[in-house]
Structure 1
Amino acid sequence: MLNDKSFIHYLKEAEQDFSGWDFSYVTDTGRMANSLLSWSYGSMAKRLITDATSLLDMGTGGGELLAKLQPFPQSVFATEGYKPNFPIAQKRLGPLGVTVVEIEEDNLLPFAKGQFDLIINKHEAYSAPEVRRVTSDRGIFLMQQVGGADCAEINEALGIPLNDEYLHWQLDFAKRELEENGFRVTLFKEESPIQRFYDVGALIYYLMAIPWQIPDFEVVDYMEQLYSIHRSIQSKGYFDVTQQRFIIKAEAI
């Protein structure tokens, strides 16, 4: 294993910096790719922003996506709970007129009741009652979420069970929770696209950036399993895992 120069080369991906929510280091080079969904969260969000007067982007990351959804309404806020991302988002979004707010608790948003007529959320945790509180009557909540069994093949290959705490997080649960908290769901879809890794280094980079997939992931703890994946990729050409994605559009009633 340690005599395999290509494997040792890929292990160094654990040293690469990751900031904001930008996977271009492995996606732009074609080392990691995803199959397509039948919907576009970005297209849906951009269309809704056209008619909005007040917008909240929940979990903006480094502001990469929101910055591309201009032009904005007059009132635009974004939240971010991951401390390293907060200054990145401020630097990117501040000049665009977006107020970026750092939050610690999903159920304690620092906004007034009914402040927003559009809230968008891509892959961010939230409290349904709190989202309803800050959404105006007839306001829209658009979200795309990651299901609780996302990329289970990674956990299986590394010998780590999926976190039981999140397995309930599926479309039906999220839809029902919104309906129980003052929303009428007008659109919902769920799909299972493939995420493909073309080298084990891309997988390592991904796991360093997504700490909840394998908590406390360290390369040294999974050398044998990673080498097995490396050898499989050398033979097959890729390592495929199954994503869980669902989207919901809901109107506050």
Structure 2
Amino acid sequence: MEQDFLNQLKATDEIFEGWDFSYVSETGRIATSLLTWSYGSIVKSKMASATSMLDMGTGGGELLSYLRPYPQHIKATEGYQPNVSVAKNRLEPLGVTVLPFEEDHDLPLENEEFDLIINKHDSFDATEVNRILKSGGTFITQQVGGDDCREINEWFNVPVSYEGWNLEKAENQLKGAGLRVVTAKEEFPTQRFYDLGALLYYLKAIPWQLEGWKQEDHEDELYQMYLRMKKEGYIDVAQHRFLLICEKL
């Protein structure tokens, strides 16, 4: 096999920390088409009038660190243990309290503690969101749908991990918990991988895309993918994103 292919197989040797894809995104090895909304712009607009705020599932705190200035009372939660120390190191010097948690339905937070809760690409329990959100408060979430990058699963014959998770299901859960949905959008932007190493690095960062998958068991398929990318210059897959903005009456 070609040396370049063997070198690209080593992409997973690179360190991935927090929720930082700059190793492949900043070098242009992965690109994504645009959504019709900006999660960051929506959040910044709501932050202007918020006095208390929670970033639910902050990852390594990367996004939240760019959303300053903050409301007077601000916290972040993170359920993935390796990210907790990363988030603490990044956010606590900025005045953000970072709290680890284990279960979506049992967050270490007070009843009606926040007038703004944000959540980008993290799971949530709708009843728990309602509990910790103040009356008149806003919940903003951008979610990764169950059909995200489904083509990758099909290439390797691996079942999709979150089958059926979509806008309608999430909207029904939030309405059932007593929240009023004011905005609901769902789109399927294109994600483009320009080399095999970028794809493998991506899969290392989100192992739940291919549950139980082992790279060493699929070198033949990976080599065929490498040849395709070498010939065509890239491969495209469809992402799955949806946005919900809710209010507590």
2:231 matched to which residue of 1?
Answer: 235
Match of 1:167 among 159, 163, 166: 163
Give the RMSD, CA atoms, in angstroms.
0.8
Which whole-Å CA distance do the structure 2 matches of 1:106 and 1:225 have between them? 37
Secondary structure of the residue that 1:18 maps to in structure 2?
A: coil
Match of 1:139 among 112, 137, 140: 137
* Equivalent position amino acid for 1:95 in 2: P
Deviations 1:5-37 (A, max 9, x none): 110010110111100101000000000010000
* Equivalent position amino acid for 1:25 in 2: Y
Structure 1 unaligned spans of 5+: none
Cα drift, residue 50 of structure 1: 1.0
Q: Is the 8 A contact 2:193 2:234 kept in 1?
A: yes
Deviations 1:37-82 (A, max 9, x none): 0100011111111110000000100000001000001100000011
Q: Is structure 2 residue 162 aligned with structure 1 residue 177?
A: no
2:247 matched to which residue of 1?
Answer: 251
Deviations 1:81-109 (A, max 9, x none): 11111001000000110000000000001
2:11 matched to which residue of 1?
Answer: 13
Which whole-Å CA distance do the structure 2 matches of 1:161 and 1:172 have between them? 21
Cα drift, residue 168 of structure 1: 1.8
Match of 1:24 among 19, 22, 25: 22
Q: Is structure 2 residue 99 aligned with structure 1 residue 101?
A: yes
1:218 matched to which residue of 2?
Answer: 214
Which whole-Å CA distance do the structure 1 matches of 2:12 and 2:66 have between them? 29
Q: Is the 8 A contact 1:208 1:217 kept in 2?
A: no
Which whole-Å CA distance do the structure 1 matches of 2:218 and 2:159 have between them? 14
Alignment of 1:28-39 (within 5 A): 28-39=26-37
* Equivalent position amino acid for 2:134 in 1: S
Which whole-Å CA distance do the structure 1 matches of 2:96 and 2:122 have between them? 18
Q: Is structure 2 residue 193 aligned with structure 1 residue 197?
A: yes
* Equivalent position amino acid for 1:74 in 2: Q
1:56 matched to which residue of 2?
Answer: 54
* Sequence identity percentage: 51
Deviations 1:152-207 (A, max 9, x none): 010111121213xx212100111111111110000111100000000000000000
Q: Is the 8 A contact 2:158 2:211 kept in 1?
A: no
TM-score between the two structures when normalised by the length of structure 2: 0.98
Secondary structure of the residue that 1:37 maps to in structure 2?
A: coil
Which whole-Å CA distance do the structure 1 matches of 2:219 and 2:84 have between them? 33
TM-score between the two structures when normalised by the length of structure 1: 0.97
2:44 matched to which residue of 1?
Answer: 46
Deviations 1:98-140 (A, max 9, x none): 0000000000011111000000000000100001000001100
Which whole-Å CA distance do the structure 1 matches of 2:221 and 2:214 have between them? 12
Structure 2 unaligned spans of 5+: none
Which whole-Å CA distance do the structure 1 matches of 2:7 and 2:213 have between them? 18
Which whole-Å CA distance do the structure 1 matches of 2:215 and 2:172 have between them? 39
